[in-house]
């Protein structure tokens, strides 16, 4: 194969390698952000600018080379770039859907998970708890049976507090608490989340 025919193949291969490598990093960054609130998502964004500039340079070189040597039709270049873009991106979407489902399954509330969890993990479990249980109207003891002993209780105000860490917020400097208020009959009247 002469050099004129090799160049498009090399450019397509480089484009695919750069793009697929970037999408793998994006998949990792999104996973890291979802599960750990990691900073890699910001690096993925910055790297994305460089990657798309590089892909643009590859496409420009390919078009200039193709104008000189007429090795490929415009249609075949467009189809190849669409395949390079669409197939790996589709794989990333499928991975993200599965990863989000795994996250939701893992952070579905159970009393055992809650008991074993630290503050930040409890912050990820609390939304599931609130979806599953309507605590208003329950007795205080019923809530404690589900969530265990509270971190703090203010009997004068009739409220119990459960620490829920950063509650899934990025850079939460002050921790969050899940507050359950009850009346003089020890029946829950309200529940809410506050940041201290």
Q: Which residue would you say has higher pLDDT here, 95 or 3?
A: 95
The residue to which tokens 């794989």 are assigned: 91
pLDDT recorded at residue 10: 86
CB neighbour list of residue 161: distance below 8 Å, 6 or more residues apart: 150, 151, 152, 153, 154, 177, 178, 179
Q: What is the pTM of this model?
A: 0.73
Answer yes or no: are the C-beta atoms of 177 and 166 closer than 8 Å: no
**pLDDT tens column, 141-169:** 999 999 999 999 998 889 999 999 888 77
**pLDDT tens column, 102-153:** 999 999 999 999 999 998 899 999 999 999 999 999 999 999 999 999 999 9
Q: What are phi and psi of 177, to 5 degrees?
A: -135, 145
**pLDDT tens column, 40-76:** 889 999 999 999 999 999 888 888 877 777 777 778 8
């Amino acid at each position: 194969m002469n050099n004129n025919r090799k160049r498009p193949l090399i450019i397509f291969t480089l484009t695919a390698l750069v793009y697929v490598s970037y999408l793998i990093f994006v998949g990792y960054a999104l996973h890291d952000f979802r599960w750990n609130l990691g900073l890699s998502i910001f690096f993925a964004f910055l790297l994305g600018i460089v990657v798309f500039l590089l892909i643009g340079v590859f496409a420009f070189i390919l078009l200039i080379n193709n104008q000189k040597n007429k090795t490929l039709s415009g249609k075949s270049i467009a189809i190849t770039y669409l395949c390079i873009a669409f197939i790996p991106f589709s794989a990333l979407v499928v991975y993200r859907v599965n990863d989000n489902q795994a996250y939701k399954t893992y952070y579905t509330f159970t009393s055992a998970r809650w008991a074993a969890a630290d503050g930040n993990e409890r912050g990820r479990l609390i939304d599931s708890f609130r979806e599953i249980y309507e605590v208003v109207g329950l007795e205080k003891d019923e809530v404690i049976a589900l969530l265990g002993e509270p971190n703090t209780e203010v009997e004068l105000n009739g409220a119990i507090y459960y620490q829920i860490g950063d509650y899934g917020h990025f850079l939460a400097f002050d921790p969050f608490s899940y507050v359950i208020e009850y009346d003089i009959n020890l029946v829950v009247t309200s529940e809410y989340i506050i940041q201290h």
